[in-house]
Structures are given as C-alpha cells and as structure tokens.
A and B are shown apart, each in its own frame.
Chain A
C-alpha cells in the first residue's frame, strides 16, 4: 500500500499499511503490560514514594529544610524549576513550530514529546509552589483574587507574576493541543475494543466519528493552535529568563537572557525527547516509526541550539569584560575560577563541546552515542541553571555575607520526587495512551500522490 517517491525518503519504514499502523500502536494499549513495563513503572513509583518523604518534610517543617541561607535564597528549587520548564519546551516546539514549517517527520514523535512537555511542566510548577512555604495559601499570592486585605492585588510589575500566567497558559494550551490530537486515536481504540475498554475509550474519544467536516475543523483548530503555541513557547522561557534579567544582580542583569534561555530550553528539551524516544522505540518495537532519520534530525536540532547556547556563553563573558562594570566582570571571573569552577566547567564541557560531536555522521546516527550525549546535555543544562543562579548570588556586594550553598537531603529528595513523578506519569501514558499519533502517521504514509492537493 505504501507509495514511495524516488526523491523523498519514506518517513515510516517497513512498508506499513494503514492497518499495520493501527495495529502496531494500538496493541501496546490493548495487550497486558510486559514485565519490563512493570519493572520500569515500579521503579519510578518507588522513587516517587521515597521523594515524597522529602516533599512532606518540606511542607511540614517549611523550606528551612533546604540548604538555602541569607545570601543564597534561590538554589536547587529554582534550578530544577528552570530545568524542567526547559525540558518542557520540546513537545510544543515539535508539534507547533514543526507543523508551521511543514516538517512531516514530526508526526511520529509529537504525541510522546507533548506528553513529556505536560509532565515536565507539572514537575517544574511544583518548585515555585513549594517555595511559597504555605502553598495552600498560594492562590492569594499568585492570582489576582479579591481578598480581605482591602483587595491588595498581586503585583503586575513583577516577572514572577508574569511567570504564573506564562506557565499556566503554556500548560493548559499544551494540554488542550495534546488532547485534541488524542481524540481521533482514542476513537480508533474504541472501535477495536469491547466491554469496559470500549466504554472508557468511548468517553475519552468524545464521540469522534471521523467525518470529513470534523476533520476539516480539526485541521483548522490544529493550525491555529500551532500558530498560537509558537509565540507562546518562545514567550514562556523568555519570561522565565525575565525572572533574572529584570533584576540588578551582576550575572543576571543581561539582555541576552531571553534568546539564550529559549535556545537552551529547546536544546535540553530535544535531548530529553531523544532519551525517552530511544527507550520507547526499543521497548515498544517502534523502530519503523521512530527511525534513524528522526534521531538524526533531532540531533541536528541539538547541534544548532547547542551552538547558539555556546555562543551565548562566550558573548556573555565578552560583554561582562567590555561593559567595564567591575561587579559584572567579577561575577564572571568568579564563575569560571571561583569555588564553583567545577560547575562552570561541567556546564561548558557538556553543553558547548559535547553537542559538537554530532557533526560526525557516525556519531549522530549511532543510537548508543545519541543516548549517552542526550543524558550529557541534560546534565549540562542542569549545571547551566545552577551556575547562573547560585554563582551569581553566593558572592554578593558585601564580602562579609559571602556564602556557599550545600544541598540538604530534602533538596535532593524533592528533586527525586519530581523525577519519580515525571517517569511514573510517562510510563502510565506509554501504556494506556497511543504513543504515536496514528491518524497523523497515516496521513504521511504515502510519500507521493498522483493527485496533488493543498
């Protein structure tokens, strides 16, 4: 059934028919979970349970459980927040920006990447919420709700408040975008099922029947959501960077932050997509859908964004010197040679040097090398946020208050909690939801047509 073109590589290999696509994806949902899945799920749930001890301790005792001090009021929590939000950028980038650019290879990976986005944003949002100390009162501090203080409103001049709006909009729009894409696939599973599964997926599919008129509206909705999500995805990390850039702390107060943060977010997001996809395609035997071509293209995105990040690091350093501002110069010299030199050079190695290895075709088409480098990039991106946040704070304007940051078990535990949460949600998704967008893959199965339509 697959029609091949002489000029385009097929996006799906193995000569699949439409029915094969349905079968290959839906059988993951319909079959009994494998032992491997149980093992992975229980490990993730175990990490979640262990981490929740640290989370509960933090909620009970307050954030004094963390290693924060007078000088360093932001450390692992905000590092983890920015790191998770960054990871959450790939999904919407793949589904929205690549849709606008008509990059059809996105169809095999967008579903899982969007799921990853949603789970990563949940993990990210936890940190500022916990950092409020009394999260149950947080709604009054974060949202413009009428209150008993004479209706003292939230401060709309503050980038922290912009973040509340940016992250919650990003989360809810991504969730809707993801769910709209899931509806036709839930209908496919509904029509293959009987009994309870038919009832559940029937409700999830919202009564989808695949009528041409509905598909027309669906396409229209997808295109506009993509158009809305594209500036949205760029705005989110821009606003996250404003949390730092609008302050007057040397090392933070720079105009390069928005583009630099956005590039870094895409960089780490694609790395996380690669990590998860390499595992998913192996476990679920989806090598014909997530092909070497997909992996190579994602690696190319990593080279580009990694290079932008590298240039940003060097530019930042140059501008610090060129500005002639002593405090700014010191902040940067201190990053590279001060007590946190190891964090700075870990960041430089992981983010600037390692992605350049992908220039070699052998490396960017090797599964093992890609997997290892995707982990390296995410470690590097965590260090980037740690370096920006902690090294800029730990030596402030008054040398008598200079300090170091030492994480406590609660810092480590809460970070672990988010890992557990992320992977638990991802494994549940991978088992009960179609991991590949069947409808969209079917629409790109043919690489040529005897009747061109637009």
Chain B
C-alpha cells in the first residue's frame, strides 16, 4: 500500500481542548489521519469514532485454548499414558488438576493477547515509526491530517479549522 506523505499537523497543549477539537474538526468534514498523544486520553477513541478493540475476544480465546491444553495434557499423562497410584487417589484426580489448569489459562490468555496487540499495532524492536512531531511523546497532542484524503477541502481551510479548534500551532509535515 502506498503511504501518504503530506500532512497538516495541529498541535494541542491540553487534553480537554483536544477532545473538543476532534469533535469540531470532524464536524467540519475533515478526516483525521490519527492523533498522537504522550499518554492515554480517555474518551479520545470515542470522539475519533474508533470501534471498540477486539483484544478481549482474543484474550478469551487464548484463555480457552490454555484451559483445554492443560486439561488434555494432565488427563492424558495421569490417566492414560502412565497411570500411577498416588496416595490412593483416582488416576483422573480432577480437583488436583485445577491449579495447573488455572495457571495455563492465565499464561496463554496473557501471552496470546499481548502477541495479538504487538502484531496489530505493529510493535516490534526493528519497527521504524513515522514521528510526526517529536514532542508527541513529551507534552503535546498532535493531530495529523492527511492532505490526500481531504482533497475536497482546501489546505488553507483545514488550517483555519484547526486554529479555530484551539490548536496552538499548525504545521506542515512531509515524509520522504
């Protein structure tokens, strides 16, 4: 996929101003590429109109996988492959299998979900992220607007909307 390279950036100092700004900018028909923040701003995903993350479903499925793997393993080893009399207990001593089953459920749910998160958010040690404004990991919220996706509006008009919405700076940013 060809990546778009020309952006207009609105820089915001305050999270509340940002939340109102996102509503205003979207209300004016401008499509927002993404907003970059130094910390999680609650409610930002709602005003941006993002769908709820499906990571909980991934966690649940991986958890179920952990539960079934653990139970299968324990019943296979203790009841079928090499049954042994231990303290006169039933070979298939289900209550004794609960701790390991619980731990494996948690282990697979956690690792599976984090793995899906890493893949879906493209987080990997060799990733080279596009940094729109270096201050977005320090103290500024940066709203990036893709010029190519907003061809219906003039660039100057977009800049005006951003200024009116409370942006302290409006900049251009192009990538090679």
Residues in chain A within 8 A of chain B (CB atoms): 1, 17-19, 22, 144, 150-157, 159, 161-162, 165-166, 169, 172-173, 176-177, 180, 183-184, 187-188, 190-192, 203-204, 206-221, 224-225, 228-229, 231-232, 235, 239, 242, 438-440, 442-443, 446, 449-451, 453-454
Contacts and interface: CB of A to CB of B under 8 A. Distances in A.
A150 B82 contact: yes
A208 B128 CA distance: 9
Contact of A183 (B103, B123, B135): B123
Contacts of A165: 99-100, 103-104
Contacts of B15: 446, 449
Contact of A212 (B50, B59, B114): B50
Interface in B90-107: 93, 96-97, 99-100, 102-104, 106-107
Given A165-B104, A218-B40, A220-B55, A210 B136 contact: yes
Contacts of B103: 162, 165-166, 169, 232, 235
A221 B55 contact: yes
B123 A207 contact: yes
A190 B136 CA distance: 12
Given A17-B139, A224-B55, A151 B81 contact: yes
Contact of A155 (B42, B86, B135): B86
A176 B59 CA distance: 14
B110 A225 contact: yes
Given A151-B82, A203-B126, A217-B120, A232 B106 contact: yes
Contacts, number: 204
Most chain B CB atoms below 10 A, which of A187, A219, A224: A224
A248 to B, nearest CB: 10
B20 to A, nearest CB: 7
Nearest to B34: A211
Contact of A161 (B56, B100, B126): B100
A417 B82 CA distance: 40
Interface in B50-87: 50, 53, 55-56, 59, 73-74, 77-78, 81-82, 84, 86-87
Contacts of B82: 150-153
21 contacts: A18-B38, A22-B38, A151-B82, A156-B78, A157-B89, A173-B111, A187-B137, A203-B125, A208-B129, A210-B136, A211-B35, A214-B121, A215-B39, A215-B40, A215-B45, A218-B40, A220-B53, A242-B99, A439-B38, A449-B15, A450-B16
B105 to A, nearest CB: 9
Interface residues of B, number: 70
B39 A439 contact: yes
Nearest to B109: A228
Contacts of A451: 16, 19-20, 43
B45 A191 contact: no
Nearest to A238: B99
Contacts of A443: 39-42
Contacts of A172: 107, 110-111
Contacts of B53: 216-217, 220
